[in-house]
């Protein structure tokens, strides 16, 4: 059986309705990105980024909404900031001391396609029976948005069967292959 035949990257299904909840009011338990990362990898850093691209900025909000310990959150925020994916800005609430909030940098936004691709997979394979948890639409035309593979000459919806992979100039031989 050749399992490559069904590799078309499909757009997510349309959702029928959208309740107007703020992001912080939504239970993230059934988030498809989270479920996908439960399968394919350590998840905290990408879940923090997921929240950050959805507008979460403050430590306590990350902690509560993502659902993680102070220690792990502090560690991951430090690494994300050191990597230039998040940047800090001071803020001060009336009567309180100055604190830091976290914002996605231009470099951090470049991981948006990774998050969307994880969401797309999660929507298809770990979705909620009720439909999408978040729907993302093109603001101008209202059509649902998806991640696709395209080439520089404008051909879209490419699958792995449409491409040729070759070593580039940075490909070097293994120094000490075992055989």
Residues 26-55 that bind its own copies (CB under 8 A): 26-27, 30, 37, 39-46, 49, 53-54
Residue 70 engages its own copies in binding (rule: CB under 8 A): no
Count of positions on this chain that bind its own copies (CB under 8 A): 104
- Taking the C-alpha atoms of residue 55 and residue 49, their distance in angstroms, rounded to an integer, is 10
Write out the two tokens for 173.
Answer: 């031989």
Contacts of 117 (CB under 8 A, 6+ apart): 147
Residue 96 engages its own copies in binding (rule: CB under 8 A): no
Residue 59 engages its own copies in binding (rule: CB under 8 A): no
Residue placing its CB nearer to its own copies in the complex, 73 or 108: 108
Residue 88 engages its own copies in binding (rule: CB under 8 A): no
Question: Phi/psi class of residue 67: alpha, beta or left (left: φ > 0; alpha: ψ in -120 to 50)?
Answer: left
Among 74, 83, 88, 91, binds its own copies (CB under 8 A): 83
| Binding to its own copies, residues 115-144 (CB under 8 A) | 116-118, 120-121, 124-125, 127-141, 143-144
- Taking the C-alpha atoms of residue 139 and residue 168, their distance in angstroms, rounded to an integer, is 38
Among 56, 66, 68, 85, binds its own copies (CB under 8 A): 85
Burial class (CB in 10 A: 0-12, 13-18, 19+), 142: exposed
């Amino acid at each position: 059986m050749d399992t490559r035949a069904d590799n078309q990257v499909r757009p997510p299904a349309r959702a029928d309705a959208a309740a107007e909840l703020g992001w912080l009011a939504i239970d993230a338990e059934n988030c498809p990105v989270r479920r996908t990362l439960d399968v394919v990898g350590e998840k905290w850093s990408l879940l923090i980024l997921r929240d950050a691209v959805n507008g979460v900025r403050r430590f306590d909000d990350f902690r509560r909404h993502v659902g993680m310990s102070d220690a792990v959150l502090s560690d991951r925020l430090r690494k994300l900031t050191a990597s230039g994916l998040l940047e800090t800005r001071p803020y001060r609430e009336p009567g309180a001391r100055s604190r830091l909030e976290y914002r996605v940098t231009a470099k951090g936004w470049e991981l948006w396609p990774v998050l969307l691709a994880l969401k797309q997979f999660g929507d298809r394979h770990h979705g909620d029976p009720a439909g999408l948890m978040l729907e993302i639409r093109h603001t101008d035309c209202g059509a649902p948005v998806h991640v696709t593979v395209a080439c520089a000459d404008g051909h879209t919806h490419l699958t792995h069967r449409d491409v040729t992979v070759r070593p580039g100039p940075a490909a070097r031989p293994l120094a000490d292959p075992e055989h």
